[in-house]
């Protein structure tokens, strides 16, 4: 979705009193595994959802990367 | 509680509807199920796939699925496509870890759904090493009920051990999924307590839909009062805040919308979710048992199919028939979940209709 559209949707849902998790799902879609929502909700009530989108791909790549000692 | 929507929810649903329309136009592939085997080490009463220990269909060779991923990676960022390894029971494959390491090496994050019976510490470590990002484990009750549902005397014990491993492996994302039925419904509060004590934070609850083995099992189908009570239970649990309970993705729930899930109802099948089934069929989520396949990986290029077909998934106007024809909620439910339609297009279960069978508040199990 376009960034501006996400911002408007986020703002209106927040205005209606929906939680940040809810706002994130509206912008990025829910996940059957819960993975996306969990990774993207990083600071409780933040609605900085647009910035998180770009980080998402990177966080997917680094999470659970095998550590040296394994 | 009646099923009328408040103004706040109606406005929220209108925003969500706009979102849906945008996503349908863009249909970005975000989740890809791989039905890697139909073999299973259990014989669950509610199995939607009707799996057996020795399946009629052989496991899909990993190389065949990996070719699909290569095709996807040419057209979209693999980091944005989450592969969900499903079955059958994925752990029946001895080469699962090797397959998943290949998936991960191609840049695709992946997770899996398992019954936990074969999830030994050694296999779990190997899966983590292969890039496991998320895992869902099924738990359908405390010991007696779970083992009854799963048809195996050690099933609960192994899930119990698996949960301990998962809790210690955080920040690995995991959740527990429970199928509510007539037998475990009175135990919901006890199951919740058990999960909280174990350290579980995410609990997904679903009700049986009439497909597979559960279709004709009277022990599986909740009464109208229990059906509503399940949503009251989830709502109350969420308000408590000790564990994040959510209803599964299926079903538009009227006034319960926004109270039992972290999002409004949506069926993303064929819109953001695709699948490669055991015989190579190209479909959407693996819960869809009627034949709505759009092609086959042994004949077609997956991304060509994804971009150019999937019309029944993206345009639900064909669902506006029968009870749905004049229903004012169709605007929001778009005919309910794709997997709730049989091969003739008939809707097998309308959650709103079931809720209306019992307009009074359900009895919350305590």
Residue range B205-261, pLDDT digits in tens: 999 877 766 777 888 889 999 999 999 999 999 999 999 999 998 899 999 999 999
Distance from CA of B252 to the nearest CA of A (A): 15
Rounded CA-CA distance A54/A69 in Å is: 30
pLDDT value at residue A49: 30
Distance from CA of A60 to the nearest CA of B (A): 6
Q: Which has the higher per-residue pLDDT, B350 or A53?
A: B350
Average pLDDT, rounded, for chain A:
55
ipTM: 0.71
For testing contact with chain A, the best of B262, B273, B286 (most A CBs within 10 A): B262
pLDDT value at residue A33: 52
pLDDT value at residue A27: 76
**Chain B nearest-CA residue for A64:** B131
pLDDT digits (tens, 9 = 90+) for B351-364: 999 999 877 766 67
pLDDT value at residue B50: 54
**Is the minimum CB–CB distance between A31 and chain B shorter than 8 Å?**
yes
Q: Which has the higher per-residue pLDDT, A51 or A29?
A: A29
For testing contact with chain A, the best of B19, B20, B260 (most A CBs within 10 A): B19
Q: Is B181 exposed, middle or buried (0-12, 13-18, 19+ CB in 10 A)?
A: buried
Helix (H, G, I), strand (E, B) or coil at B116: coil
pLDDT value at residue B277: 95
pLDDT digits (tens, 9 = 90+) for B58-92: 999 999 999 999 999 999 988 888 899 998 999 99
Distance from CA of A43 to the nearest CA of B (A): 15
User: Helical H runs in B199-335?
Assistant: 224-240, 302-308, 311-314, 330-333
């Amino acid at each position: 979705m376009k960034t501006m559209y996400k911002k408007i949707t986020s703002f209106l849902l927040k205005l209606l009193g929906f939680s940040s998790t809810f706002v994130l799902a509206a912008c990025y879609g829910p996940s059957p595994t819960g993975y996306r929502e969990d990774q993207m909700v990083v600071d409780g009530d933040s609605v900085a959802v647009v910035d998180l989108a770009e980080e998402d791909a990177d966080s997917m790549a680094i999470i659970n990367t095998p550590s040296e000692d394994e | 509680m009646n099923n009328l929507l408040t103004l706040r929810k109606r406005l929220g649903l209108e925003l969500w509807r706009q979102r849906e329309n945008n996503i349908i136009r863009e249909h970005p592939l975000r989740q890809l199920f791989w039905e890697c085997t139909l073999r299973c080490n259990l014989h669950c009463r509610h199995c939607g796939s009707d799996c057996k220990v020795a399946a009629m269909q052989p496991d899909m060779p990993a190389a065949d699925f990996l070719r699909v991923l290569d095709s996807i990676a040419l057209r979209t960022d693999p980091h944005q496509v989450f592969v969900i390894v499903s079955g059958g029971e994925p752990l029946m494959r001895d080469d699962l870890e090797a397959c998943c390491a290949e998936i991960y090496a191609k840049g695709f994050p992946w997770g899996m759904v398992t019954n936990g019976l074969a999830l030994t510490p050694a296999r779990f470590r190997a899966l983590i090493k292969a890039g496991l990002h998320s895992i869902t484990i099924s738990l359908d009750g405390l010991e007696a009920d779970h083992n009854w549902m799963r048809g195996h005397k050690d099933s609960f014990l192994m899930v119990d051990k698996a949960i301990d491993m998962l809790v210690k492996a955080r920040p690995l994302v995991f959740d527990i999924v429970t199928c509510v039925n007539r037998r475990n419904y009175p135990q919901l509060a006890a199951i919740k307590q058990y999960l909280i004590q174990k350290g579980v934070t995410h609990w997904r609850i679903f009700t049986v839909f009439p497909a597979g083995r559960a279709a004709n099992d009277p022990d599986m189908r909740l009464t109208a009062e229990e059906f509503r009570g399940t949503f009251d239970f989830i709502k109350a649990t969420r308000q408590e805040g000790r564990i994040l309970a959510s209803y599964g993705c299926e079903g538009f729930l009227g006034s319960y919308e926004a109270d039992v899930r972290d999002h409004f109802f949506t069926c993303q099948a064929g819109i953001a979710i695709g699948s490669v089934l055991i015989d190579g069929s190209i479909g959407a989520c693996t819960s869809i048992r009627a034949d709505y396949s759009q092609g086959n990986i042994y004949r077609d290029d997956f991304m060509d199919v994804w971009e150019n077909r999937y019309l029944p998934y993206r345009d639900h106007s064909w669902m506006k028939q029968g009870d749905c024809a004049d229903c004012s909620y169709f605007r929001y439910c778009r005919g309910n979940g794709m997997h709730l339609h049989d091969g003739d297009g008939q809707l097998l279960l309308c959650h709103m209709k079931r809720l209306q069978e019992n307009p009074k508040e359900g009895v919350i199990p305590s």
